[in-house]
Structure 1
Amino acid sequence: MKPQSHPRSRRHCPTPLTATAVGAALLVSAFAAQAQDTQTITVTGIRKGIEDAISVKRNADGVVEAISAEDIGKLPDTTIAESLSRLPGLTTQRTKDGRASSISIRGLGPDFNGYLLNGREQTSIGDSRGVDLSVYPAELISGATVYKTSDASLMTAGLAGTIDTRLINPLDFPNRVIYGSVQKDSTGRGLPNEGSGKRYSLSYIDQFADRTIGLALGFVHSDGTTNQLGTGGWGEATVDATLTNGQVVNGVKIPAPWGAGLDFSSQRVKDDRDGVAAILAYRPNKDFNSQLDLFYSKIKTYTKKQFVKGGLGGPITNATVVNGVATKGTYSNVSLVDYIEGISDNDEVMSAGWRNTLKLQNGWKASVDLSHNSAKRIERDVEAYAGTLTTDTLTFDHTGGGTPRLTLGSPLNYTNANTIAVRDQTGWSGVNYPDGTPVPQAGYTKGPTIEDKVNAIRVDFTKDLSGGMFTDVQFGANYTVRTKDRTSDEGLIVSASGVGRDRIPFPAGSYIEKNVGGTGLDMLTFDPQAGLWAGAKLLRKYNDDILSKTWGVEEKVTTAYAKLNVDTELSGIPVRGNVGLQLVNTDQSSKGYRAEVGSGVVLNNPAKGLSTAGTTYLDVLPSLNLTGDLGDGNQVRLSVSQQIARPTMTDMRNSFAASVDTNAANSTFGKFVGSAGNPELKPFKAKALDLSYEKYFGKKGYLSAAAFYKKLDTYITPQTLVNYDFTKYAQALGLTIPPAGPIGTLTTSVNGNGGNLYGVELTASVPFNLAAAFLDGFGGSISYADTQSSVKLPNVLGKNPNQQVSKADGEIPLPGLSRKNAKLMLYYEKAGFSAFVAQNYRSTYIGSVANDAVGGYPTLRYIEGSSWVSAQVGYEMQEGPLKGLGLRLEGNNLNKPVYRQLKADGKTVDTETKTGASLSLKVNYKF
């Protein structure tokens, strides 16, 4: 349940202000002097959404941001994630297909947020707690509130902030509403291959039995295809080049980002989604209210990646060299890999909640809320490596910049099923059969099955207080049981014949992928599926990394809280807010594999089964929120609190793997080397201080300046313990203690030191008729956030949780932190016509990227800062027989931003993905 807002008296009286406040007040008063118009005007569309959101922000006790639907089924964007990313202090990590999914608040990653739907904790299809907000279609959402400060009655709050997404309440509507829409999408505009899609929705809202019963039903379906082009490589190399005139030039550089090897790709994503919401409300009188909320979303995606990869050793001939860089040339004896990958995702999210509220005598009110949430994800990533039996020549032409044009000496060999086949092209397996012969690797398959469930019961009581500074007292308890299980299954793809060494023919239905990665090369390909194809089979393998990806976590959390709501006067200034306390008791346990195994691969599971361990702890979380009303729309807010965020579930796993290092080149040779999760981790914890000044122009617009500071008392970080005693685990696992003794090296996660996180957020959202009447209908909003942190972590870029952490690798800044975030939106709306253009920007940051490393586990990568532009224009009939008919044209990524991952220096491009722009045409009708 979201914090309760109580009507408070508004007393406007002269108050002594500081010189700064006086100056700010005079400035905004001068700007708004022409616009103190008290005339009541009914607004709709963009302005209605803005005004409703401003009302939420102004009336809140703490620092919040909000979005509100313009009308039934009409958020500004197609997903709640896109809409939230426009808010001050919030930003999104856009996926490689140009879509907003996760949200970062004030420089902290998605796992630091609390996620609620109608006030209830939400599960995640991701690897930990961060919720992919794109699962919530805009057509089924009435709005969302982002709490940047703590409130004692806010359950499952995050250290960064809490996102509460809301479904509609049918009894809030005065009469029956039926709304339908149809949308046609065009994606990847500007790429060699464009995509397309469609979307349609239907909503029904009605009231019965003299408006004591309300019903809302909604359905939305979308499906479509998007395309991307990827450019990358590996290593850095120089080659000897023979020019066209026969001159030899030594030490010539190869154009970035490909150096020692090339890696170009074409990608196609097919995305099918269905969302359903049902809300039944019963309010027989003013004293009792009962509401049942149901939400279900099903997502099915298939990502087809087609790569051309190959090592480039040099030298090159027929070369053109400009300033020491080869812009043209020919490689001889090249062995290209026709690299084929298919990733299938089947996701389901379900939320059910039943809340009953009863007003009792003597100013008492009670409520009971029962809820169940679940999420399930089944992902399978299948790779196939194909090639020819002979080497070839490869000519590149990079004179025009961008993607080089590539030409093969025998191009037809790579599109003919008689000359190219799936086979062990590179010797990547790293494992031997028991007889010592290498195991082939013609492909690879991996992927988790994730199930996340939360069951909760919440009880609240409120008692009105007469007289004094407190208007009422609110107290209650919330009990949740959350279980999350991740099961990983992966291994090599080998031939079903010839002890796995035979070539595997391409399956029936194979086709030619033209112009792979924009290089001009064509490759024979197919769409790999989880069931593999004729002639291929799975050979499972195991090591510490693979075993660590299977785990389960259970959390039983009991939260008791009490809160006093404030409405008083201090030094003549009306003050409202609340002071409260949460007691959070956590009983956590996790399971995982424990085995005698290291990074070396074996073909049989060395673990004896899953083992369980855990801990219990209590957190005491006080909070204070005060808002001073300075009069004439001026407000000052102060918030102080203690905040927590639970550890990532990967870090909490109860896995343990250890072996004796047999590599004589390592400093740990002859000693135990191990890796483990930590089921006894305590939460991230911080003390938080927020201060903001806000100037409101009625409910039409506002100006805001906010500053925040978080003192992170503890931050969970990976660490390699160099003097770890393995005696206890050696006995449990049956390990033989080596001659060097039981002391060795263990990599795990620990509650380490914290640091500081602080920043400022400046926002203005105003209709332009505040300055001049002739600008009626025009408006805009702008925000800027600058966030800094002293938190430094060991450099684990690109590493899985089992790889050792070394001081020699240096440090990295706080993951998820973009130093600068900025947003700008300009809009116009009048007489049914509406339009806006918006731009978002975030600076370079470190983000978690899935399916970007061997095994598919999310790893940290530098992601280059970027901006993205969207625009929208629409018209809705205001009268006549077609009243309620609307038409909207929307464009996203109109500036065709390029997604770039950077190397460890945070500057040099490692890979880049082009997604192009997208356009959507939508027709809707409401009656």
Structure 2
Amino acid sequence: MKNGIFKLGLIASSISAILSPSVALAQDAESTVNSDIEVISVSGIRGALARSQAEKMNASSIVESISAEDIGKLPDSSIAESLARLPGLAGERSGGRTSGISIRGFKEDFTGTSLNGRELIGIGDNRGVEYDLYPSEIMTGATIYKTTEADLMVQGIGGTVDLQTVHPLQASDTITINTSYELGERDSDNPEYSNKGHRAALSFNKKFADDTFGVAVALATTESPNNHRNYGVWGYATNDDGQILPTGISSHVISTELKRDTISAVFQYRPTDKLDIVLDVLNIDYSDSGIRRGIIDPFSAVNVVGTGANSTGTQINANPVLRTDPRQKTGELNTLGLNLEYFVTDNWSVELDAATSKSDKRDLRGESYAGLGRSGTVDPSQYGTRQFQMSPDGIVFTDSSGLDAFSDPNLLQLAGPQAWGGGMASLSDQFETDALQVNGNPLSYLDAQDGFLNYADFTEELTTVKFEVVGNLSGDIFTKVTAGVNYSDRFKDKVNKGFFATTDTYPSSESIPSDYVYGLADLTWMGLGEVVAYDGFAPYEDGTYTQNDAGFLEPDRLGDTYEVNEEVVTLYVKTNFEYAFNDMFLVGNVGVQYVDTQQSSTGTIGVVGSNFKVCDDNDDGLVDESCKVDLGADYSHVLPSLNLSLEFADSQFLKFAANKTISRARIDQMKASGFVKFTQNIDQISIPNSAEAIENYGSPWSKFTGNPQLRPLEANNFDLSYENYFSDEGYFAVAYFYKDLVNWTRDGDQTIDFTNDETNNGANYFVPGYHDRVIENDGTYGPAGVFYSQGDVVTPPDLGTYSFFEDGLEGTVKGIELTANVPLNVIADVLDGFGVAASYTYVDAELEDGSRVPGQSDKSYSITMYYQYEGFEFRVATTDRTGFLTYERGGSNKISEATRSAVTLVDAQVSYDFADAGIDSLEGLRVSISGTNLTDEDEETVDDATGVVSSRRQFGPSYLFNVNYSF
């Protein structure tokens, strides 16, 4: 046997014992570790890197890891920021905070996430875990499996992230107090919010009864501000002169505050060397609430001078909507897990693990509209004008006239300035009035929308039970066998609700009540001046708004309400082996999983009926049975895996892995629900009824359904890695990976006749009086410029698009990872304490239909430069990723795709640990100052057709002063 791997392997094992109770228990039972082992004792960032290196080296599969010296010592505000710096991983910001994590180009929905080996649920819309939910204070580290093993129950095509909490019998008795003060460099543009926050945590670890019983508890609370500016447009169009201009403006200032309270408790009882019992409890209660406030209006221009995207001119007919969108996002996550491990003999053990998790979330988003006056009641001659300057970076306004009301609450009217009320057609009688528009026609339901209240409720429950047998073998090659069965039962539902809001003063309007007003919000950075800042929830709470349930008015509400159920049984077996030959040493494992799945979904197909309501032909407020859907599927997979690690020279390894993995389809894609949607816009309704016109201009019709029979995404994976560990604190590695995607979810679509739907038994969705429109004024309408006279009835085209999801898409993902951790003392002793940890990942992904893998950046890198001397430590970290496809919450609470541009983030930290200061009273004290987004990096999305920035989010840097005291 080769000594190098065993010496370093045992070092890694002793380090891992801090993180894993099963390792320590096995060591006690088998007496494999003696007191002469050299244990890495370097602290700070050097110690953390050395621990991660030891774990990577000792693994027969390809892994990455992060670790903390003690609970509460991770320098980041959440585990997400630490994960984003690891090789092959890339972070995705949500509202300015790193929340999502991609592994090798796969978004978190396509990776598995576990907590202490158990599958973890999040509080998101899909399967992916929101990593910023987990405060660093409760974590001791994380291991990222880039290749899988047969006894790894939580898997994904991208890989697996296993988060770890402390186990009290493997840790020292400590009490840790952690406090932080947070400051955003940019003041809030909204007067009712601050740029200051704080964090506090208390954790303790204690052993009792001759070290047979241990308790570890962590309590953490966070109040973290986030203020950013959001430039946006509806889109861009090129006019007859070749000038590129926006079709509409949508720019806002956004302020939120994350409040998170966490309780983590671990109880461990080991009465003998043969029995170990661990009980884990976790509760996270959080809210991420705030305000989105800004201007939204259509865009028309005259006197435009310039070419392409570079021009100046005057916006005319400006009739803006001041959108005040308050948000309350609240949720709670609870997990409870019990693990029992018993050594039947010195070589054979059995393990029983059972866990249950539940999460609840409500995402409430209000909309309140204000402007010059109610839709139809303001003469166009009273509309405003703005001077603008256009460039590839977007549009900015330099001056305006006629819009002074937006900074004066006595002039600004609490009413909807635009005719957005088409969805209330079935309630037209409620809004009949003798009051006239300026054109002489009566006001109607089209003019009656003054706001909207969106909310979505999510519930997810997961129960898992695992029974496993592990045996140490005495053969010359095969050393260990693991076999077991795992059962999981998952339930997730979504209830999508919405309410149209109309002021109680309809058909007239009134100014903003003085008790609503906070002050003024700053939009001067966009050239839109200061605007009235008022409480957008107030008119909902005090009864000023009359609310009408949109569930039976908008088809996509019921069409996005659903339940999904999954039951999965996994049988697995894995064998470890080792073999020495020609002064080389080979270790590895081979195994297989058999996975049997039963999945189902219930939901509703939302369709407007003859009474203009959705799935309520009986007007009884109950969903018609004819609209309900219940579908599912049963199937199985065989998932083999092989991992090899060959030490062919001293501390130099070749690692190879081959396996098949699956990632279950996104929850929102598996829903049974769907809808038939119709755009209530005369320009769309008047599109000619021909296939050519539909191809050129689109259609007001659309149909969408989920697919509860989708199979999991499936890939055959191959990995090859060279790893050179040239010191206890230094290594470099080169890895190549190849993923053959044999099944990926495809976005399907086909053109159908909405008066004779061949995909639904010839259904006719056209409803006279709802889907047609009577012309009010002579003129040309629609993109085809068709002339209609007053009184003409315009009927929509018959054709439109049916969108759905289907299996069968194939593709490949391949890439290279370069990783190095270099302590500079290997160059010269005078550089002791200096070091660089860096990684670079290149990913080439190709799906056969040309679509992109969500989360895939072609290139990403991370560089951390550090200096550590005695108690002083400094580090600066840079992460960079190229543009990528993602998805986010869109209109009507549905998921929509978004493209993010390249982003580079720079963070830094300076800290001092008083352990070596020679002051007894300060021993255990550590202070630090850290800054994130120090280069004030924006996030931009570029319009594919024009190359002009269509959205820009500006967050600004933030700073954290931290005091950590352990005793």
Q: Shift in Å at residue 697 of structure 1?
A: 2.8
What letter matches 1:396 in structure 2? Q
SS of 1:546's partner is: helix
Establish whether residue 305 from structure 1 lines up as the match of residue 292 from structure 2: yes
What letter matches 1:284 in structure 2? P
In structure 2, what is the equivalent of residue 866 of structure 1?
903
Q: Shift in Å at residue 159 of structure 1?
A: 1.1
What letter matches 1:858 in structure 2? I
**Residues 544, 675 of structure 1: 8 Å contact kept:** no
In structure 2, what is the equivalent of residue 844 of structure 1?
883
Task: For 2:62 and 2:71, locate their aligned partners in 1 and report how far apart those are by CA, in whole Å.
Answer: 27
Q: Shift in Å at residue 836 of structure 1?
A: 0.1
Bigger CA drift: 387-396 or 361-370? Answer: 387-396
**Residues 231, 517 of structure 1: 8 Å contact kept:** no
SS of 1:895's partner is: coil
In structure 1, what is the equivalent of residue 948 of structure 2?
908
Q: Shift in Å at residue 744 of structure 1?
A: 9.6
In structure 2, what is the equivalent of residue 754 of structure 1?
810
Q: Shift in Å at residue 424 of structure 1?
A: 2.4
Match of 1:334 among 302, 315, 318: 318
SS of 1:259's partner is: strand
**Residues 457, 495 of structure 2: 8 Å contact kept:** yes
What letter matches 2:811 in structure 1? G
What letter matches 2:419 in structure 1? G
SS of 2:86's partner is: coil
SS of 1:446's partner is: strand
**Residues 177, 201 of structure 2: 8 Å contact kept:** yes
What letter matches 1:71 in structure 2? D
**Residues 847, 861 of structure 1: 8 Å contact kept:** yes
Show the 5 A alignment for 1:817-856. Answer: 817-850=856-889, 853-856=890-893
SS of 2:300's partner is: coil
In structure 1, what is the equivalent of residue 88 of structure 2?
89
**Residues 96, 226 of structure 2: 8 Å contact kept:** no
Q: Shift in Å at residue 76 of structure 1?
A: 3.2
Establish whether residue 568 from structure 1 lines up as the match of residue 575 from structure 2: no
**Residues 189, 521 of structure 2: 8 Å contact kept:** no
Bigger CA drift: 853-862 or 656-665? Answer: 656-665
In structure 2, what is the equivalent of residue 185 of structure 1?
182
In structure 1, what is the equivalent of residue 251 of structure 2?
264
SS of 1:314's partner is: strand
In structure 2, what is the equivalent of residue 242 of structure 1?
none
Classify 1:361/1:42 alpha carbon distance in 2 versus 1 (closer, same or farther; 3 Å).
Answer: closer
**Residues 752, 758 of structure 2: 8 Å contact kept:** no
**Residues 226, 270 of structure 1: 8 Å contact kept:** yes
CA offsets, 1:322-357, max 9 Å, x none?
678777655454212211111210011111111010
In structure 1, what is the equivalent of residue 544 of structure 2?
535
Task: For 2:523 and 2:610, locate their aligned partners in 1 and report how far apart those are by CA, in whole Å.
Answer: 34
Q: Shift in Å at residue 188 of structure 1?
A: 4.1
Classify 1:45/1:521 alpha carbon distance in 2 versus 1 (closer, same or farther; 3 Å).
Answer: same
Task: For 1:585 and 1:760, locate their aligned partners in 2 and report how far apart those are by CA, in whole Å.
Answer: 33
Unaligned 5+ segments in structure 1 are 1-6, 13-37, 240-249, 737-741, 794-810
Establish whether residue 706 from structure 1 lines up as the match of residue 735 from structure 2: yes
Q: Shift in Å at residue 386 of structure 1?
A: 0.7
Task: For 1:537 and 1:434, locate their aligned partners in 2 and report how far apart those are by CA, in whole Å.
Answer: 13
SS of 1:210's partner is: coil
Show the 5 A alignment for 1:733-772. Answer: 746-772=802-828
Establish whether residue 382 from structure 1 lines up as the match of residue 421 from structure 2: no
SS of 1:282's partner is: strand
Task: For 2:765 and 2:317, locate their aligned partners in 1 and report how far apart those are by CA, in whole Å.
Answer: 50
Task: For 2:960 and 2:687, locate their aligned partners in 1 and report how far apart those are by CA, in whole Å.
Answer: 60
Task: For 2:316 and 2:678, locate their aligned partners in 1 and report how far apart those are by CA, in whole Å.
Answer: 43
Bigger CA drift: 696-705 or 526-535? Answer: 526-535
Task: For 1:181 and 1:558, locate their aligned partners in 2 and report how far apart those are by CA, in whole Å.
Answer: 42
Task: For 1:89 and 1:515, locate their aligned partners in 2 and report how far apart those are by CA, in whole Å.
Answer: 40
Classify 1:119/1:324 alpha carbon distance in 2 versus 1 (closer, same or farther; 3 Å).
Answer: closer
Classify 1:844/1:666 alpha carbon distance in 2 versus 1 (closer, same or farther; 3 Å).
Answer: farther
What letter matches 2:344 in structure 1? L
Establish whether residue 578 from structure 1 lines up as the match of residue 589 from structure 2: yes
In structure 1, what is the equivalent of residue 410 of structure 2?
418
Show the 5 A alignment for 1:443-842. Answer: 443-496=451-504, 498=506, 505-506=512-513, 508-516=515-523, 518=525, 519=527, 521-529=529-537, 531-541=540-550, 542-569=553-580, 572-597=583-608, 602=613, 605=616, 607-608=623-624, 610-657=628-675, 665-667=688-690, 674-722=703-751, 729-730=760-761, 746-793=802-849, 811-842=850-881
| Bigger helix fraction | 2
**Residues 757, 763 of structure 2: 8 Å contact kept:** no
CA offsets, 1:290-348, max 9 Å, x none?
111111111112131111222332225xx8x5678777655454212211111210011
Classify 1:324/1:213 alpha carbon distance in 2 versus 1 (closer, same or farther; 3 Å).
Answer: closer
Task: For 2:223 and 2:113, locate their aligned partners in 1 and report how far apart those are by CA, in whole Å.
Answer: 26
Bigger CA drift: 393-402 or 374-383? Answer: 393-402
CA offsets, 1:689-743, max 9 Å, x none?
000000113431210000000100011112024579967954999999xxxxx99
CA offsets, 1:579-599, max 9 Å, x none?
000000001011110343499
CA offsets, 1:70-99, max 9 Å, x none?
33201131111110000111001112x321
Classify 1:813/1:11 alpha carbon distance in 2 versus 1 (closer, same or farther; 3 Å).
Answer: closer
In structure 2, what is the equivalent of residue 24 of structure 1?
none
**Residues 507, 533 of structure 1: 8 Å contact kept:** no
Classify 1:109/1:750 alpha carbon distance in 2 versus 1 (closer, same or farther; 3 Å).
Answer: same
In structure 1, what is the equivalent of residue 19 of structure 2?
none
Q: Shift in Å at residue 482 of structure 1?
A: 0.4
Bigger CA drift: 277-286 or 409-418? Answer: 409-418
Task: For 1:334 and 1:727, locate their aligned partners in 2 and report how far apart those are by CA, in whole Å.
Answer: 44
In structure 2, what is the equivalent of residue 127 of structure 1?
125
Bigger CA drift: 276-285 or 323-332? Answer: 323-332
Classify 1:603/1:588 alpha carbon distance in 2 versus 1 (closer, same or farther; 3 Å).
Answer: closer
Task: For 2:946 and 2:275, locate their aligned partners in 1 and report how far apart those are by CA, in whole Å.
Answer: 57
Q: Shift in Å at residue 771 of structure 1?
A: 1.7
Establish whether residue 138 from structure 1 lines up as the match of residue 136 from structure 2: yes
Show the 5 A alignment for 1:194-205. Answer: 195-205=195-205
Give the structure-1-normalised TM-score: 0.86
In structure 2, what is the equivalent of residue 107 of structure 1?
105
Match of 1:409 among 401, 410, 417: 401
What letter matches 1:510 in structure 2? V
What letter matches 1:363 in structure 2? N
Q: Shift in Å at residue 683 of structure 1?
A: 0.6
Q: Across the two proteins, how many residue pairs are aligned to each other?
A: 853
Bigger CA drift: 726-735 or 106-115? Answer: 726-735
In structure 2, what is the equivalent of residue 34 of structure 1?
none
Q: Shift in Å at residue 893 of structure 1?
A: 0.1
Task: For 2:611 and 2:311, locate their aligned partners in 1 and report how far apart those are by CA, in whole Å.
Answer: 41
In structure 2, what is the equivalent of residue 220 of structure 1?
220
What letter matches 1:508 in structure 2? D
Task: For 2:250 and 2:800, locate their aligned partners in 1 and report how far apart those are by CA, in whole Å.
Answer: 39
Classify 1:672/1:926 alpha carbon distance in 2 versus 1 (closer, same or farther; 3 Å).
Answer: closer
Q: Shift in Å at residue 408 of structure 1?
A: 3.7
**Residues 572, 594 of structure 2: 8 Å contact kept:** yes
SS of 1:855's partner is: helix
In structure 2, what is the equivalent of residue 427 of structure 1?
419
Classify 1:341/1:728 alpha carbon distance in 2 versus 1 (closer, same or farther; 3 Å).
Answer: closer
Task: For 1:573 and 1:403, locate their aligned partners in 2 and report how far apart those are by CA, in whole Å.
Answer: 65
